[in-house]
């Protein structure tokens, strides 16, 4: 059993124990609908660090919302589905389906996979970084969600989850990866291949789980 599979097992266990109470999720939803309105963009969300006012479980989206932002961004790419109400609903759904430690550790990647399967998409996954598998997923998938260690030799630097989309020129864009342009605006990061993106979260990152998503 590889290290990633062990981690994913424990993440799934934490999710089974860490569901946000319904009363809390409903309270968050009522507050989030207003808090999101002032900052929701048209299109992809790139600026997680600016979302402290939006609640997720007993925490906030700036602290542990990267998986929900990845799902939201994937649905922007797949269906042009976006908006304040959409994000508020996404948060409430995942508070009850996949939140680890009441939102403090984000979401289990298995919960993300289950969500897209439930919605009727074709989904494939891997917890290994073999290039042949990633090249196949690159051809078959339309949008991807990557969970990775920020630093492969220092696990205390935690993990991050991002959405990766295809651009018009055949390249790939990694969303919400804390990259800024020269004007200080958060932007997507470009890669030539999916393999480069999977290995490019940070200089020292390494993949935990990759989800490929395509319309049926």
Question: What does the pLDDT read at residue 126?
Answer: 97
Cite the beta strand spans of the chain per DSSP E: 55-56, 59-60, 122-126, 143-149, 159-166, 172-180, 186-191, 206-214
**What pLDDT is stored for residue 152 in this prediction?**
73
pLDDT at 29: 98
Give me the mean pLDDT over the 79-98 stretch. Answer: 97
69 closest CA partner among 177, 198, 211, 190: 177
Backbone CA torsion sign across 14, 156, 103, 98: negative
Q: Contact 137/164 with Cβ under 8 angstroms?
A: no
Q: Tell me the pLDDT band of 155, cut-offs 50, 70 and 90.
A: low
Q: How confident is the model at residue 1 (pLDDT cuts 50, 70, 90)?
A: low
Is the pLDDT at 186 greater than 90, yes or no?
yes
pTM score of the predicted model: 0.96
Locus of tokens 């990647």: 109
Contact indicator for 190, 173 with CB cutoff of 8 Å = yes
Q: What would the mean pLDDT of 91-96 be, rounded to a whole number?
A: 98
Q: Tell the residue number behind the tokens 């976006």, with chain if given.
A: 82
pLDDT in tens, 34-70: 999 999 999 999 999 999 999 999 999 999 999 999 9
Dihedral sign for Cα atoms in the order 116, 206, 164, 67: positive
Residue boundaries of the structural domains of the chain: 3-103, 118-214
């Amino acid at each position: 059993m590889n290290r990633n599979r062990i981690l994913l097992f424990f993440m799934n266990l934490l999710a089974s124990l860490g569901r946000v109470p319904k009363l809390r999720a409903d309270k968050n939803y009522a507050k989030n609908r207003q808090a999101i309105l002032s900052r929701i963009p048209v299109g992809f969300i790139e600026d997680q660090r600016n979302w402290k006012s939006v609640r997720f479980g007993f925490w906030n989206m700036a602290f542990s919302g990267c998986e929900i932002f990845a799902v939201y961004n994937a649905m922007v790419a797949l269906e042009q589905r976006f908006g304040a109400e959409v994000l508020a609903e996404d948060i409430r759904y995942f508070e009850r389906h996949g939140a680890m430690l009441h939102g403090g550790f984000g979401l289990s990647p298995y919960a993300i996979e289950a969500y897209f399967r439930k919605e009727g998409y074709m989904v494939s996954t891997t917890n290994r970084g073999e290039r042949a598998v990633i090249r196949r997923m690159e051809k078959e998938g339309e949008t991807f969600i990557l969970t990775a260690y920020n630093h492969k030799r220092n696990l205390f630097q935690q993990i991050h989850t991002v959405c990766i989309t295809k651009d018009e020129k055949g390249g790939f864009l990694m969303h919400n990866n804390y990259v800024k342009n020269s004007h200080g605006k958060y932007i997507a990061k470009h890669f030539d291949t999916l393999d480069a993106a999977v290995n490019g979260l940070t200089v020292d990152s390494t993949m935990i789980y990759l989800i490929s998503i395509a319309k049926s």
